[in-house]
Amino acid sequence: MKIQMVDLHGQYLKIKKDVDQAIQGVIDSTAFINGGEVKEFAQELAEYLNVKHVIPCANGTDALQVAFMALGLKPGDEVIVPVFTYVATAEVIALLGLKPVMVDVHPDTFNIDVDQARSKISANTKAIVPVHLFGQCADMDAVMELANEFNLFVVEDTAQAIGSVYTSKDGSTTSAGCIGHFGTTSFFPSKNLGCFGDGGAIFTNDSDLAEQARVICNHGQRIKYHHSIIGVNSRLDTLQAAILRVKLRHLDSYCAARQELAAFYDEALKNDDRFATPVRSAQSTHVFHQYTMKLREDINRAELQEYLRQNGVPSMVYYPVPLNEQEAFASDGNYPVSKNLCERVLSIPMSTEVTPEQRNYIVETLTNFIQS
Ligand SMILES: *Cc1c(COP(=O)(O)O)cnc(C)c1O
């Protein structure tokens, strides 16, 4: 019984016939770049998300970069980001000469603390990036209120939360990534909707912004060989689009499988106060890109991980270092919640393919841990 954090091969085997056929179809057509499957996938994803425009691109990092470029932000403009996130969120902000302004997160949901964001707004603040971490939405009502009050652009980093649904105070429901000016996502293989390489997409309901993002992804050209703005080359391969079309049809069942495993872990660990299980936001569904626990203060995480490893249970720390302490982003400021999370979080296997036997073994092994 070999347990992995994510079992991509097992997932593939269940849809092998359809995926293989899709891949062969692209090879037979040789339309490797901008083939019909790319447009069809974009349309199908737009329908799934109920958003007007989906612009496919090369990866989730590009999606963020293109979104910021399309918003026309200028060097020196400030963009608010949470410090407890994957580096890509802040990287592209810095690359474009924008200034990442860091804020802490909530200790329960791990998502951006909007009150703190408010306290960091200056005359130069132009945008805010809620990251829907581990699969559930940030407090988008609060984000949008703040954005409306200060005229900020909102770019939702939805790389970990595709398929999650947010319920606003007024009762309306919206797919993660489709509330702000732009949503961005990644189809990295281990993401909830993953392809067999790199891929990404940008979502928006704003037709002008969509056009701008499309032109930027395509070398800044509206007419072939006529370049009106500086763009980039960021495309989703036809092969990847063909695979994603097959997998999109299974996304709801993939989300359900993750949620079922999460519910099992919750139940199995609820009486062991060494492991605080993930807190669900009342306003968002959770699609469990990761199942991330908070360890009790006295638990030695390194020792626990080593014990798990020796017993064949993989675990990961997402993320060990807050953004403000990364060498590349070193910045002053105090982010006690994120710092504490970086020391205490632990993610255990979460995928669509964990068997009943495996999940029993995972929780048995966890609860049998005895600290030296
Ligand atoms: C994966 C991820 C990205 C980047 O996606 P890539 O496709 O790897 O470039 C950005 N933000 C978050 C939160 C992610 O998890």
158 pocket-lining for ligand 1 (C-beta < 6 Å): no
Check if 59 has its Cβ closer than 6 Å to any atom of ligand 1.
yes
The CATH class of 252-367 is: alpha beta
Which among 302, 343, 347 is positioned nearest to 325, based on CA atoms?
Answer: 343
pLDDT at 362: 98
Output the CA 365–ligand 1 centroid distance in Å.
31
**pLDDT of amino acid 297:** 96
State the closest ligand 1 atom to the C-alpha of 63, by its place in the atom list counted from 1: 9
pLDDT tens for each residue of 209-238 = 999 999 999 999 998 898 989 999 999 999
**Does ligand 1 come within 6 angstroms of the Cβ of 157?**
yes
Ligand 1 midpoint to CA 233 (Å):
18
Contacts of 23 (CB under 8 A, 6+ apart): 239, 242, 243
Ligand 1 atom closest to Cα of residue 191: 1
Please provide residue 80's backbone torsions phi and psi, each rounded to the nearest 5 degrees.
-85, 130
Atom of ligand 1 nearest to the CA of 200: 7
Distance (angstroms) between ligand 1 centre and the Cα of 30 equals 29
> Looking at residue 332, what is its pLDDT?
83
Ligand 1 centroid vs 171 CA: distance in angstroms? 30
Q: How far apart are CA 352 and CA 254, in angstroms?
A: 6
Q: Establish whether residue 200 lines the binding site of ligand 1, counting it when its CB lies within 6 angstroms of any ligand atom.
A: yes
- The position carrying tokens 């302490």 is 325
Ligand 1 center–CA 152 separation, angstroms: 23
Q: Is 91 in the pocket of ligand 1 (CB under 6 A)?
A: no
pLDDT-flagged residues of the chain (< 50): none
Q: Ligand 1 in contact with 85 (CB < 6 A)?
A: yes
Tell me what pLDDT residue 212 has: 97
188 Cα nearest atom in ligand 1: 7
Which CATH number among 3.40.50.150, 3.40.640.10, 3.40.30.10, 3.30.70.1400 corresponds to the domain 8-103+110-248? 3.40.640.10
Question: What is the structure's pLDDT at 1?
Answer: 75
160: Cβ below 6 Å to ligand 1?
Answer: yes
Q: How far apart (Å, rounded) are the C-alpha atoms in residues 292 and 48?
A: 27
Query: Which amino acid appears at position 292 of this protein?
Result: T
Query: Is 131 near ligand 1, meaning CB less than 6 Å away?
Result: yes
Give CATH 3.90.1150.10 domain extents, the chain. Answer: 252-367
Would the CB of 188 count as within 6 Å of ligand 1?
A: yes
**156 pocket-lining for ligand 1 (C-beta < 6 Å):** no
3-state secondary structure the chain: CCCCCCCHHHHHHHCHHHHHHHHHHHHHHCCCCCCHHHHHHHHHHHHHHCCCEEEEECCHHHHHHHHHHHCCCCCCCEEEEECCCCCHHHHHHHHCCCEEEEECECCCCCCECHHHHHHCCCCCEEEECCECHHHECCCHHHHHHHHHHHCCEEEEECCCCCCCEEECCCCCEEECCCCCCEEEEECCCCCCCCCCCCCEEEEECCHHHHHHHHHHHECCEEECCEECCCCCECCCCHHHHHHHHHHHCCHHHHHHHHHHHHHHHHHHHCCCCCEECCCCCCCECECCCCEEEEECCCCCHHHHHHHHHHCCCCCECCCCCCHHHCHHHCCCCCCHHHHHHHHHEEEECCCCCCCHHHHHHHHHHHHCCCCC
pTM over 0.95: yes
Where, residue-wise, is CATH 3.40.640.10 in the chain?
8-103+110-248
